[in-house]
Structure 1
Amino acid sequence: MNLDETILRLITEQEISDQAVLQELLEARGQAPSQSTLSRRLKKLGVQKVAGRYQRVEAPPPVAPVRPWLRIIEAPPNLLVLKTAPGYAQVFALALDREPDVPGLAGTVAGDDTIFVAVTDPSRLREVREVVEELMSRGT
Structure 2
Amino acid sequence: MDLDEAILRLLEANEITDQAVLQQLLENEGQAPSQSTLSRHLKRLSVQKVNGRYQRVERAPAPPLRATVMEAPPNMLVLKTAPGYAQIVGVMVDRAVGMEGVAGTIAGDDTVFIAVKHPSRLGEVREQLEQSLRLLP
Q: Output the TM-score relative to the length of structure 2.
A: 0.52
Out of 100, 111, 115, the residue aligned to residue 112 of structure 2 is 115
- How many residue pairs match? The answer is 76
| Distance in 1 (alpha carbons) for counterparts of 2:63 and 2:84 | 15
Q: Output the TM-score relative to the length of structure 1.
A: 0.51
Letter of the 1:112 counterpart:
D
| Distance in 1 (alpha carbons) for counterparts of 2:99 and 2:63 | 25
Q: What is the deviation of 1:71? A: 1.1
SS in 1 for 2:100: coil
Letter of the 2:118 counterpart:
D
Structure 2: stretches of 5+ with no match in the other structure: 1-61
| Distance in 1 (alpha carbons) for counterparts of 2:131 and 2:70 | 16
Q: 2:74 aligned with 1:77, yes or no?
A: yes
Q: What is the deviation of 1:102? A: 1.1
Structure with higher Rg: it is: 2
Letter of the 1:127 counterpart:
E
| Distance in 1 (alpha carbons) for counterparts of 2:119 and 2:77 | 11
Q: What is the deviation of 1:101? A: 2.1
4+ residue stretches of structure 1 with deviation over 2 A? Answer: none
Q: 2:99 aligned with 1:102, yes or no?
A: yes
The RMSD of aligned alpha carbons is 1.5
